[in-house]
Structure 1
């Protein structure tokens, strides 16, 4: 029997609204899967570590001897001890006290920061927790509260979702920057956009509309970093990025929109991405890199045309039976991606759904059946 260890709470305290209180524990709702590296001195296998060093003497300082100092003037500090910080917020450091409930539709998403799960701190508090969770779910509102954790006070929205309570830390109003003051080159309200351009852009958005399925999305950069590490460890060639797409020429904006619509209508979203960057092949260093390392463009879900060679037609015909047997067309992108991962198909993390399906169809049937 396998025993799964439960996550440890990062904070414990009391959640209250009105005269109702329930002891709760706070848990991280997300985790990072980014690739981590060690610092190594070049040409050796020696790790490099950071030390806390006295700036004046150059000597290492024990962690227990480090205190917080607020600089009044150069070289002049007010020293603040940890227990002094704790004493100025004695109650709120252990309490999430809901002071009001707000309709979440009124809150701009920019105010939300980090999400946590809230759970009851014991089975004896399950009923009070369930009452609060169900009442908040029915009201479709979030409770606003202030609480302190790790030496900082947080504005927090507590809401019910998926049968549990969650806490979303938020930015204060003075922490949110005004985009008109921070962002250069924003278009002014007088900029002219024709009705035809706007209508065509809206059609393109509608044709590329999709349902939200988080399993369809992957951290492709992290996967490419892992592939890079694996390739270097095995002494294989490393694929080079083609670089960013060129900006759309304003003069050709309408033509690019129309080509994008045509590509989206054919079901090839990769082609829709390609038409954003029309450029001559074989020009410049970027083209040279693309020639040497560019991922071969696959047909996706496009139908074969009269210009297809007999060899290509025969290849498509030979794979159609296997495709029908496995019904790859009925699989989601996430399911196709999983199969491509099992078969170790290269460049899978950068492929569209159509390219994944095409790559799987061109994989030998025996190997594909073993993967399935």
Structure 2
């Protein structure tokens, strides 16, 4: 079934936007494309794409070559199959769009698909091209219209067992009393979902700050008392304290807690404090100190300039035994950009390259 559609953004961001300004001036700060070797600015027309094979070795791809491969822009969403949405994990869903018929002549077939999907409780799966990229898309009926969710492909979803440290084992057991108290707490704070009850209070405060400064006012922002972290975790103590707080709120309100109160329970103050990552540079990997002989010094210098395959393998094996958190600390020490968005394997590769550059510089 092919339905010509128009695509409409379903959401919008209200994040306050800022420009970069040099302090003490009204001068904009702009980013430039600069050759990292020469320091000279590079015009956009001279920039091509490069895929790194090994450090310093790239496969060059011209913009025209990518344009020939580009799927272009779809004017229709061609559904190839239908799936029960309950089978689709929410982690696969990405951006939501409203779909409308592309012209009055398509309203009947649009309505037919909308009602059929609504009655079946299923979503249509399709491949959809937009902005030079192909998307897996789920089309479903909602509120009398069709809605499209772009989706992640399977290889884009990270394995939580590789990304998250210290996850509990599948056979981890909890006490019946602890579980009972936790369930009571959940029931005490149960609310009906109403999106209007929630606002981005940080964005509101930023706008108030801008308005106050624009009118010449100076405002003081209270930080409140700092939380005192502790390394002691008593699960029953946490649950009982939270439950007592919920009961106290219910006693103050004969009709039970309001949505606003129930949506903001007291936070536990028993979080573990994570050690701050060290900024110290890792020690270079090497062998024993050289002797005072000229021959030994020459041998050591040659080894420093040209590392063997065995030493590269040792570096990889050393990093391969580290957790993601440990790799992130090393990435922080090397000041690797975009490290917070990297997978464990990407962190390992970035740290390995940074370590090699550090060793070359040290030698």
> TM exceeds 0.5?
yes
Query: 2 CA distance for matches of 1:83 and 1:94?
Result: 23
State the Cα distance separating 1:52 from its structure 2 match: 2.2
Tell me the equivalent position of 1:143: 124
State the Cα distance separating 1:244 from its structure 2 match: 5.7
The aligned runs of 1:221-260 (5 Å cut-off) are 221-233=202-214, 234-243=217-226, 246=229, 249-250=234-235, 252-260=237-245
- Against the structure 1 CA distance between its residues 174 and 220, is the aligned structure 2 distance closer, same or farther, given a 3 Å change threshold? same
Query: 1 CA distance for matches of 2:108 and 2:94?
Result: 29
State the Cα distance separating 1:241 from its structure 2 match: 4.9
The aligned runs of 1:1-372 (5 Å cut-off) are 17=1, 21-88=2-69, 90=71, 93-233=74-214, 234-243=217-226, 246=229, 249-250=234-235, 252-266=237-251, 267=253, 269=261, 273-274=265-266, 276-277=268-269
Is the 8 Å Cα contact of residues 146 and 155 (structure 1) preserved in structure 2? yes
- Against the structure 1 CA distance between its residues 187 and 78, is the aligned structure 2 distance closer, same or farther, given a 3 Å change threshold? closer
Query: 2 CA distance for matches of 1:271 and 1:152?
Result: 39
| SS of residue in 2 equivalent to 1:273 | coil
State the Cα distance separating 1:73 from its structure 2 match: 3.9
Gaps of 5+ in 1: 1-16, 279-372
Query: 2 CA distance for matches of 1:213 and 1:66?
Result: 49
Query: 2 CA distance for matches of 1:271 and 1:64?
Result: 53
Q: Tell which has more relative contact order, 1 or 2 (C-alpha 8 A, sep 6+).
A: 2
Deviations 1:305-336 (A, max 9, x none): xxxxxxxxxxxxxxxxxxxxxxxxxxxxxxxx
| SS of residue in 1 equivalent to 2:210 | helix
Query: 1 CA distance for matches of 2:227 and 2:115?
Result: 48
Query: 2 CA distance for matches of 1:173 and 1:258?
Result: 40
Q: Please report the TM-score for the alignment, with normalisation by the length of structure 1.
A: 0.62
Is the 8 Å Cα contact of residues 245 and 276 (structure 1) preserved in structure 2? no
CA RMSD of aligned residues (A): 2.9
Query: 2 CA distance for matches of 1:67 and 1:79?
Result: 7
Is the 8 Å Cα contact of residues 39 and 48 (structure 1) preserved in structure 2? yes
| SS of residue in 1 equivalent to 2:33 | coil
Query: 2 CA distance for matches of 1:171 and 1:81?
Result: 27
Query: 2 CA distance for matches of 1:34 and 1:83?
Result: 35
Tell me the equivalent position of 1:286: none
Is the 8 Å Cα contact of residues 242 and 266 (structure 2) preserved in structure 1? no
The more displaced of 61-70 and 140-149 is 61-70
Gaps of 5+ in 2: 271-363
Q: Please report the TM-score for the alignment, with normalisation by the length of structure 2.
A: 0.63
